[in-house]
Amino acid sequence: MKTWKRNAIVATVLVLVSAGIYLNWLYSKPSETSLTDTLDANKILDDSKLVISDELNSQEVLSENTDTTANSFAQIRLSRQTSRDEAVNLLQETISYAEGEDTTASSKQLEDIVNLALQEAQIESMVIAKGYTDCVAYITDDAISVAVAAPEEGLQSEDVALIADVVKSQGDFSMDDIHVIEVK
């Protein structure tokens, strides 16, 4: 009877952690735009980026926008890492207290988390090595989202193709599974 209760508690904790990770990802991911909107859209400035002042030069405005973009990428990475750390800690606790089949399932989940983190890091490094300022990749069960800091002229179709090629070379994803998100 004790084993059954412990297994039920472990399963409940794992479900809650998984739900927490999913909700964190769901509410913190940047808005996606379709590929045609990205490629056909003209560069549009909203009110928050429009500066009307004789005192500021364009270099200061550019550095402010770059800092904002860098901060958003850092926030995304921090959020993703925090969620993963919590999941890893719970899985490690489960492994230390579990016996038999529970340890193999938890070990498999822990290994999957580590493999996803490595794969995301490799994709991010490869995209940055291709000349983009910053990048964050997030892999789910059925797709991958890659947020890329857009160059001044925006992402072109060649850029999207290059990023998709990097993703395909690092993982088993079809073109339908790859979502490239332009971050301005």
Per-residue model confidence (pLDDT) at position 29: 61
Q: How many domains does the chain have?
A: 1
- Contact 161/110 with Cβ under 8 angstroms? no
What's 159's domain CATH number? 1.10.287.4300
Structure tokens at 91: 């899985």
Helix 58-97 with 101-129: angle, nearest 10 deg: 160
Q: What is the DSSP letter of 135?
A: E
The closest of 35, 3, 44, 31 to 158, measured between CA atoms, is: 35
| Secondary structure percentages of the chain, helix, strand, coil, to 5 | 65, 10, 25
- Global pTM reads 0.57
HSE-up (13 A, CA, CB side) for residue 145: 18
pLDDT tens-digit readout, 25-81: 777 765 554 444 444 444 333 333 333 333 334 344 344 444 666 777 788 888 888
Domain that holds residue 68: 2-183
